[in-house]
Chain A
């Protein structure tokens, strides 16, 4: 068993392969689970690092993420998500929960919207590219149709776990105004994404 994934491995993991590893994991197959870890942990660690911007915390969250995957592998199908989406969603949600707990405890806020970091596009490889390219362009194109501060607020919520309250503070608007703003923006986004 490899100690950890080489960065390029996730690129060559097909949806069918992840799905098969998840199915085996759901039946308690530890070696399938560890292979899943070896082949996806670098991507999920990248996600945790992006949200938390703190290495020890990201390592800690990554552990929790894979323990959750081990325990809930039998559930992902019910969500109707593609397997990689599910894995990344578990990682992002766990990282955001940690970030919020840190903020609630009065720690460093992180994720300052004034320096909201755009996620660079690493080359997803030929298989992933075929699936991902149009989708990727679409969300970006649709965000571009929003006013820039509103697009930035949506990104801040998604990537930096900013709550309505955080966003209201950052943009110095009342909480209800921020809710209205964002809901209208989501309405527009939905219309654009469904086009």
Chain B
């Protein structure tokens, strides 16, 4: 059908409307949200539709929820004993895991020092039906670098899948991928981001064991990767690894 065939070229405004109406499928929505983080004009289009459609629902009658809802929310946002820290320190939408490790301290320092504004979003992917162990996912974007990629690691098959949507390292530089374990100071290399589009590669067992509570990170390294085995350049983006 010609309309379907030419759809890719259609106006972003229509896609933004479909996004607002939740008509995009999961993959389309993920790609669109990745663009949203980077493109102010596209956010403007979404805002246009959100504001214009809003009157269709904004007129619903108000209904006071029972007090139990408020109590439960208060319980859920209560600080747990070892996560008392300024809320502004959070980096991900999902908040921090309960344990604040030395690795995270390292990460935070690198992050601040590099003055990099990285936006991190974690998305729900549909796990492949054959998977039996947890699949960890991270979606990272470095606003200043135009770098957008999705990563997932299937722990039962020890397979890393990375899809780069945009962004390349500078001349004579490479992006290197890392998993930073929750409770170990040494980031583990996942290799270079040296391909375009999507790739799959096996990961060592020590990486699989580091996924729980770990953080996915991308650093800017000399061509060929870090000479020391640990990140040496700017950390351009990080995201918590979350299970599906």
| Residue pair B55, A136 in contact (C-beta under 8 Å) | yes
Question: Is there a chain B Cβ closer than 8 Å to A186's Cβ?
Answer: yes
Bound CA–CA A96/B53 (angstroms):
15
B51 to chain A, nearest CB (A): 6
Known: A30-B77, A47-B60, A189-B17. Contact between A4 and B70, CB under 8 A? yes
| Residue pair A46, B62 in contact (C-beta under 8 Å) | yes
The prevalent SS among residues of A at the interface is helix
| Residue pair B73, A159 in contact (C-beta under 8 Å) | no
B172 to chain A, nearest CB (A): 33
The prevalent SS among residues of B at the interface is helix
| Residue pair A45, B63 in contact (C-beta under 8 Å) | yes
Bound CA–CA A154/B21 (angstroms):
8
B23 contacts across to A, CB distance below 8 A: 157, 163-164, 182
Q: Which residues of A contact B (CB under 8 A)?
A: 3-7, 10, 26-28, 30, 33-34, 37-38, 41-43, 45-47, 49-50, 59, 62-63, 66-67, 70-72, 74-75, 78-82, 84-85, 88-89, 92-93, 96, 100, 119-122, 124, 132, 135-136, 138-140, 154-155, 157-159, 161, 163-164, 176-177, 179-180, 182-183, 186-187, 189-190, 193
| Residue pair A135, B54 in contact (C-beta under 8 Å) | yes
| Residue pair A139, B53 in contact (C-beta under 8 Å) | yes
Question: Is there a chain A Cβ closer than 8 Å to B69's Cβ?
Answer: yes
In the complex formed, the residue of A with least CB distance to B40 is A80
A30 to chain B, nearest CB (A): 7
